[in-house]
Structure 1
Amino acid sequence: MPCTKKVLERALIERYLSCHVCSETFRDPVSLSCNHSFCSSCLEKFWEQTGNKNCPICKRRSSKDDLPINFSLKELAESFTERQKSGSSETETGEKQLMVVCSKHQEDPKLFCEDEQRMKIRKFTTI
């Protein structure tokens, strides 16, 4: 996979795993009924500062006072952060690039369809 494609993929993942208030990877993310997600502490601070409980993005009012942690999003964010810490290296341009290598085969992992036992977009697992 070309380096540019990897950088674009990482940027896309970062975009979906980033809080729109602090612009960092989610920490204890919560999701509003409008489906926008934020770090729990960032949302609380935002609500305290604005004096209302509107979504920071679409301004829709939240009807819930106590928002549960979105554990699926939390696990994804933590996994992404962990991979960045353990597998990143500095490139010549100073950018950080995620380096993931299969420990058994010493090559980049590929996406593989478990249902059809071939490369195809469906249900994937890293091999």
Structure 2
Amino acid sequence: MNSQPDFYEVLRVKPTASQQEISRAYRALMRTHHPDLGADGGATDGGELSRAELLQIMQAFSVLRDPARRAAYDRSRTGTSTPGGQGSGPVVIPVRRVNRRHVPAGNTIRITPVRWESGPWT
């Protein structure tokens, strides 16, 4: 299958969780696993496990908090690479060409940067 851990299980939320639920779960887990706030106080055996869990929690949150990365992760979990189920080729986006008349604009205001060194106030 995939060597990547299930980020929803890491954060202990459902795959249908909202952004707010994901953020709350992340903050709650960070409170329990953070080395400065944890009860283990930097123990050697538990500290390494806690650091690994902490890194997994941070990685899961970095993926699930961004809607685009979360959608890509969800697609990789289900096995489809694109919403259409096609390969990973380029996505064709239809573009409409707008014909413009080559007529200069009549009352266009051109804004230029102000040079404070030269002006009526010097």
What is the TM-score with the length of structure 2 in the denominator? 0.29
Larger Rg: 2
What is the TM-score with the length of structure 1 in the denominator? 0.28
Q: Say which structure is richer in strand.
A: 1
Q: Which has the higher contact order (CA 8 A, sep 6+)?
A: 2
